[in-house]
Amino acid sequence: MHDANWEPRIVAFFCNWCTYTAADLAGVSRLKYAPNVRIVRLMCSGRVDPQFILAALAGGADGVLIGGCHIGDCHYVEGNLKTLRRFQMLKRMLAEFGIEDQRVRLEWISASEGDKVRSVINEMVEQLRPLGALALREQFKEWGREVADGQPVSVALGEAKQETEVAHV
C-alpha cells in the first residue's frame, strides 16, 4: 500500500466568494504550492454537506480541506457559522472512526489571502505525509471480504471498524 511514489490527495471545498477567489489570487500572483489539492467550488462553505467529506474520504482522498470566509464576513451573512458547527460534530465522529485529526481541516481564507491558500495547502500536504494513505477504499474491500468469508474481523483501524461500515452503507 505504501509505494514510494505515494502522494497525499486532498479534496478541497472552497466557497465562491472568499476562498475560491483567494485561490484565484494565488494563481494571479503566481504563488507556488503543492499540486496535491483538487478544488471543488461551492457558493458557500455552508453548502458543504458532511456527506461530501465522507464521500471524498471514502473515495480515496487522504485529506479534505474546507475553505470559507472569515466569521463575520460570510457573503451569506452566517453560512460559515453553520459550517463551523457541522465541522465540530463531524470531527468528533471522524475521531471515533480512527480518522486522524489532521486529515480534515477547516480554514477561513478571505479573498485577499492568496498567500494563506498557499501556506495552508503546503502545510496540510506536509502533515499528511507522515500519516500515509488513508486508503479507505481498500479497507472497505478488505472488510467486505472478511464479512463475506464469515471470518472474525481483523482490527485494522482499531475498534472503530463497526461504525465505519455503518457510515459506508
Partner 1 sequence: MKTNLTNGDIRIGFYICHCGHNIGGVVDCTAVAHEITGLPGVVVSRDYKYMCSDPGQELIRNDIREHALNRIVVASCSPLLHEHTFRNAVEAGGLNRYFFQMVNIREHDSWVHTDHAKATTKAVALARAAVLRVRFHRALETTRVAIHPDVLVVGGGISGIHAALTLANAGKKVYLVERDPSIGGHMAKFDKTFPTLDCAACILTPKMSAVRANKNIKLWTYSEVAKVDGYVGNYTVTVRRKPRYVNEELCIGCQECIEACVFKEGKYPDEFNVGLSKRKPIYIPFPQAVPQVVVIDPERCLQLKSGRCKKTCVEACADRQAIDFTQKEEMAEIKVGNIIVATGFKLFDAKRIPQYGYGLYPNVVTSIELERLVTSSGPTGGEIIMRDGRTPQSVAFVLCVGSRDFRTNRWCSRTCCMHSMKLAQLVREHTGADVTVFYLDIRAPGKGCEEFYDKSLKDGIQFVRGRVAEVTDWALTPEEEGKLVIRAEDTLAGVVRRIPVDMIVLAVGMEPQADSQAVRRLFNMSCGSEGWFLEKHPKLAPVSTFTDGVFIAGCCQGPKDIPDSIAQAGAAAAEAMALIDRGYIEQEPNTAYVVEEDCSGCKSCLPLCPYTAITLDGTTQKATINAALCKGCGTCVAACPSGSIRQHLFEDDEIFSEIEGVLTHA
Task: Single out the residue of 1, 4, 77, 142 in contact with partner 1 (rule: CB under 8 A).
Answer: 77
Q: Mention every residue, 6+ apart, whose C-beta is less than 8 A from residue 31.
A: 114, 115, 117, 118
Cβ of residue 165: shortest distance to partner 1, in angstroms? 20
125 counts as binding partner 1 under rule CB under 8 A: no
26 counts as binding partner 1 under rule CB under 8 A: yes
Tell me the window of 4-12, 87-95, 98-106, 149-157 that interacts with partner 1 (CB under 8 A).
4-12
Tell me the window of 3-11, 99-107, 142-150, 157-165 that interacts with partner 1 (CB under 8 A).
3-11
- HSE-CB of 10 using CA atoms within 13 angstroms: 29
Tell me the window of 53-61, 91-99, 124-132, 144-152 that interacts with partner 1 (CB under 8 A).
53-61
44 counts as binding partner 1 under rule CB under 8 A: yes
Q: Which three cell numbers stand for residue 48?
A: 458543504
Q: Mention every residue, 6+ apart, whose C-beta is less than 8 A from residue 54.
A: 167
Cβ of residue 58: shortest distance to partner 1, in angstroms? 10
Task: Single out the residue of 7, 101, 126, 138 in contact with partner 1 (rule: CB under 8 A).
Answer: 7
Chain centroid to Cα 138, Å, comes to 18
Task: Single out the residue of 19, 87, 99, 113 in contact with partner 1 (rule: CB under 8 A).
Answer: 113
Q: Which three cell numbers stand for residue 22?
A: 483567494
What residues make contact with partner 1 under the rule CB under 8 A? 7, 9, 11, 16-18, 20-21, 23-24, 26-28, 30-33, 35, 38-44, 46-52, 55-56, 59-61, 72-73, 75-79, 82, 86, 110-113, 118
